[in-house]
């Protein structure tokens, strides 16, 4: 059977099924290709028949997925200026402050080269990270302090019970084949009353509806699960968390995603002159349109804070 034939099925069983609910059937919404052009293979974005969460098929092992990540995907291993680091991470540090989080022991899951951790006050914050990319983990360890960044997965790290006040997943949860297992592990290592922060692309956003398989933030096949506020809140509740803050705004991601999605649609290699002209004409309106849509709760990035209960 060809890959296309398998993906077009409404209810063909996948290899292991949905990690959130165990269902093995799903409905295809659309197909997507790798925006980084590692492969021309089409990937299918499906809605789980059991819980409704969106997934990328076919399923892949961590080893299979590794070949779709360029060496610099998780962050440049170079040494940018401190001012650049603070500015690039200001949206994240601002969200912490808005949640009333100003100090404590913090773990950043999927920390890349450690830029977020480096932007935190090292006197107020006891900083730790976890990173699967070996080069990025090495760079983060060098910057944060030897032994503070674990090279591997959260589950492999085997942290102590209730070891942290805050655990963050900045653009990390969507990359995981086992998001539920990772959130359950996060609950184990967060103190009662502590905070979990998760940032993911918003699968219920206006951009997801407008662009479908051409939406830049799908990032297939690297993004394995695609969350709406409803599916993420339900998952957090199952893992032992209660949501207390939500935002759909992201200066760092939203307008950029809209621009890249439009570019992919209108400015592709085979695009005609009219399509390219439309893209250029749309550029001045990208930020205002995105700001208005995000203000209505339809922004392309979903960031939440949840308390360990």
Residue 287's alpha-carbon distances to 13, 204, 277, in angstroms, are 41, 19, 18
Count how many domains the chain has. 2
| Domain assignment present for 52 | yes
| Domain assignment present for 105 | yes
Tokens linked to 30: 């659309």
pLDDT of residue 15: 56
| Domain assignment present for 215 | yes
Nearest to 267 by CA among 283, 291, 289: 283
pLDDT of residue 3: 33
- For 34, the domain range is 3-61
pLDDT of residue 269: 67
Are 183 and 111 contained in the same domain? yes
Are 33 and 135 contained in the same domain? no
Are 45 and 119 contained in the same domain? no
In 136-176, beta strands by DSSP E: 149-151, 164-170
What is the mean pLDDT of each successive set of 10 residues along the chain, which is 309 residues long? 35 68 94 91 95 95 89 66 94 98 98 96 97 92 95 96 98 97 98 98 97 96 97 98 98 96 85 90 96 96 98
pLDDT of residue 2: 33
Are 97 and 237 contained in the same domain? yes
Are 114 and 155 contained in the same domain? yes
CATH number of residue 135's parent domain: 3.40.50.150
Are 94 and 240 contained in the same domain? yes
Query: Does an H or E element contain 218, and which?
Result: none
Are 54 and 99 contained in the same domain? no
Distance, CA of 111 to CA of 126 (rounded, Å): 15
Provide the whole-model pTM: 0.92
Q: Are 66 and 80 in contact (CB under 8 A)?
A: no
Distance, CA of 22 to CA of 29 (rounded, Å): 19
């Amino acid at each position: 059977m060809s890959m296309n034939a398998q993906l077009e099925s409404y209810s063909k069983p996948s290899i292991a099924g949905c990690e959130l609910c165990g269902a093995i059937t799903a409905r295809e919404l659309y197909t997507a290709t790798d925006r980084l052009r590692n492969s021309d293979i089409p990937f299918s974005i499906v809605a789980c028949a059991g819980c409704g969460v969106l997934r990328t098929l076919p399923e892949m092992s961590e080893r299979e997925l590794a070949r779709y990540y360029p060496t610099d995907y998780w962050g440049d291993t170079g040494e940018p200026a401190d001012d650049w680091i603070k500015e690039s991470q200001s949206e994240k540090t601002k969200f912490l402050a808005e949640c009333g989080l100003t100090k404590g022991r913090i773990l950043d899951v999927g920390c890349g080269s450690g830029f977020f951790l480096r932007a935190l006050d090292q006197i107020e914050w006891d900083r730790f990270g976890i990173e699967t990319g070996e080069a990025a983990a090495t760079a983060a360890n060098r910057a944060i302090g030897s032994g503070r960044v674990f090279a591997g997965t959260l589950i492999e790290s085997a942290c102590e019970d209730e070891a942290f006040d805050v655990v963050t997943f900045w653009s990390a949860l969507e990359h995981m084949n086992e998001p539920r297992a990772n959130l359950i592990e996060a609950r184990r290592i967060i103190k009662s009353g502590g905070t979990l922060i998760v940032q993911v692309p918003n699968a219920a956003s206006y951009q997801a509806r407008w662009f479908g398989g051409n939406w830049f933030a799908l990032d297939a096949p690297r993004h394995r699960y695609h969350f709406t506020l409803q599916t993420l809140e339900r998952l957090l509740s199952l893992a032992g968390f209660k949501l207390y803050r939500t935002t759909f705004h992201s200066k760092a991601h939203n307008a950029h995603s809209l621009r890249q999605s439009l570019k992919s649609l209108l400015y592709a290699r085979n695009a005609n002159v009219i399509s390219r002209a439309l893209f250029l004409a749309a550029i001045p309106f990208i930020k205002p349109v995105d700001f208005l849509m995000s203000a209505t709760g339809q922004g392309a990035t979903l960031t939440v804070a949840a308390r360990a209960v």
